[in-house]
């Protein structure tokens, strides 16, 4: 079975530079907001909807980042082949609030803090997404 999702690396400009928005999922991992595509949605619409639902933040797509492919085991459906399209998304409006049915926390981090969260308690398949997003944002 194949599952299609989209999400993004959400950023905002502040007086101190750039902040990045991460979510803490139900497994205690710090990750990027994403979710399954609904019928009739484009990847872009999917990404923006999921970001708003999971975080309370509405944004605008700045750039495509990457598609990530991986597999996971589902209790009933067995192995799922997952494809996630990630975008760089600039936060426009909203106040961060977690969608408690799916995630535990939503927090803005400095680029350094976000990088450390990814290294320490993120998913390895997101590493290349972080690297490409940092490059697009001019971050080191």
pLDDT digits (tens, 9 = 90+) for 80-100: 899 999 999 999 999 999 998
CATH class, domain 2-137, is alpha beta
Look up the pTM and report it. Answer: 0.94
Give per-residue pLDDT as tens, 22-48.
999 999 999 999 999 999 999 999 999
How much is the pLDDT for 73? 83
In angstroms, the CA 60 to CA 87 distance is: 10
Question: What percent of the chain lies above the pLDDT cut of 90?
Answer: 88
The DSSP bridge partners found for residue 9 are: 88
Q: What is the mean pLDDT of residues 99-119?
A: 95
Q: How far apart are the first and last CA of the chain?
A: 38
d(CA 64, CA 129): 10
């Amino acid at each position: 079975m194949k599952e299609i999702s989209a999400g993004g690396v959400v950023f905002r400009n502040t007086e101190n530079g750039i902040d990045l928005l991460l979510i803490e999922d139900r497994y205690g991992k710090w990750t990027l907001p994403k979710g399954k595509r609904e019928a009739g949605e484009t990847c872009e619409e999917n990404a923006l909807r999921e970001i708003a639902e999971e975080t309370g933040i509405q944004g605008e797509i700045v750039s495509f980042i990457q598609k990530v492919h991986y597999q996971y085991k589902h209790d009933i459906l067995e192995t799922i082949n997952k494809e996630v399209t990630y975008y760089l998304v600039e936060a426009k409006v909203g106040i961060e609030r977690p969608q408690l049915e799916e995630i535990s926390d939503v927090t803005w981090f400095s680029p350094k803090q976000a990088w450390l969260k990814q290294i320490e308690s993120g998913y390895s398949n997101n590493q290349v997404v972080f690297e490409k997003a940092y490059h697009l944002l001019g971050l080191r």
